[in-house]
């Protein structure tokens, strides 16, 4: 089974990306699509909304500014998808509500940029021909 996930996807553009991925990739029967969000209730509600549209989307809590949350997500992926991540969309953002930015906020922003070494490598490494063919086959059928 292949896996795709979108960070910060309980609403807006992220939710639309999840919807498009699910509508396109799941027709092959070989994909699990994950909607991720910091807030569990909002994430589950977004999945329920997509289910009403006939889309099978899974939810996993992920706060990319929290190292423990990132680690839990990676452990989950590694235990359920031994071939790793096939598609990762970094859609999450951090909104600064106050004028003074604290060091912890800067660390959170840096975590957003890099996520984790494993995910950052996936985002920045070029696709191999095998990965490209594997992804393209689902769009060609």
CATH number for 62: 3.40.50.720
Domain count for the chain: 1
Identify whether the C-beta of residue 59 lies closer than 8 Å to the C-beta of residue 35.
yes
Q: For residue 8, is it left (φ>0), alpha (ψ between -120 and 50) or beta?
A: left
Distance (Å, rounded) from C-alpha 61 to C-alpha 128?
29
For 27-83, the pLDDT digits (tens) are 888 999 999 999 999 999 999 999 999 999 999 999 988 889 999 999 999 999 999
| pLDDT value at 128 more than 80 | no
Distance (Å, rounded) from C-alpha 6 to C-alpha 59?
10
Identify whether the C-beta of residue 92 lies closer than 8 Å to the C-beta of residue 5.
no
Structural domain boundaries, residue 71: 2-140
Instruction: Specify the pairing of strand 57-61 against strand 87-89.
Output: unpaired
Q: pTM score, two decimals?
A: 0.69
């Amino acid at each position: 089974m292949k896996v795709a996930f979108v960070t910060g996807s309980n609403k807006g553009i992220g939710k639309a990306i999840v919807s498009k991925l699910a509508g396109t990739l799941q027709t092959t029967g070989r994909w699990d699509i994950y909607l991720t969000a910091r807030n569990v209730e909002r994430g589950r509600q977004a999945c329920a909304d997509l289910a009403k549209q006939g889309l099978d989307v899974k939810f996993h809590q992920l706060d990319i500014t929290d190292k423990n949350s990132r680690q839990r997500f990676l452990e989950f992926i590694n235990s359920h998808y031994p071939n790793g991540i096939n598609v990762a969309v970094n859609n999450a953002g951090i909104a600064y509500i106050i004028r003074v930015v604290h060091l912890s906020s800067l660390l959170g922003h840096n975590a957003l940029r890099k996520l984790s070494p494993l995910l950052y490598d996936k985002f920045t490494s070029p696709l191999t021909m095998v990965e490209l063919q594997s992804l393209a086959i689902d769009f060609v059928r």
